[in-house]
Amino acid sequence: MTDDRGVSTTLNYVLGLAIALILITGLLVAGGTFVETQRDQSIETELAVLAEQVSSDVAMADRLAETTSDNESVRVGRSLPPRVAGSSYEVSIEGGSDPQVVVQTTDPEITVTVPVRSSTPIESSSVSGGTVAVNYTASDRLALEDEQI
């Protein structure tokens, strides 16, 4: 007759550690995914706010450009944060029949688009985040530029 009681205690210990390791790994993976999803949603919300601010600047510059006489310039500047949740971003305005402001990050890749109302033609242009300005150019178009302080 052999004595298997020592093996049973060791086997129970190893199985308990394995189960605990699997549970902890599962929690870390699930928690990591949750945090990443929350970060992406936070970035998207912040980009939407920035896009709305730039869209309102374009609308303001449009209203001011309509009231100016020839050879007058209009410049509406705004200080935006240089980074969003640790990521750099780019702000662009797209002209055409359906003008819009597009704000996007590259890491993670998130893009937010907001429509713009403007009776003044818009020149497609883009700048990095930071201090930006909507400028009424000599070609009678609104364009986005880096603001020099």
- The C-alpha atoms of residue 43 and residue 86 are separated, in whole angstroms, by 9
In this prediction the pTM is: 0.74
- The C-alpha atoms of residue 34 and residue 39 are separated, in whole angstroms, by 9
**Res 75: pLDDT:** 87
- The C-alpha atoms of residue 102 and residue 17 are separated, in whole angstroms, by 51
Q: Where are the domains of the chain?
A: 5-146
Query: Which run of H or of E encompasses 109?
Result: strand 109-115
pLDDT of 5 over the 70 cut: no
pLDDT of 86 over the 70 cut: yes
- The C-alpha atoms of residue 29 and residue 65 are separated, in whole angstroms, by 53
pLDDT of 149 over the 60 cut: no
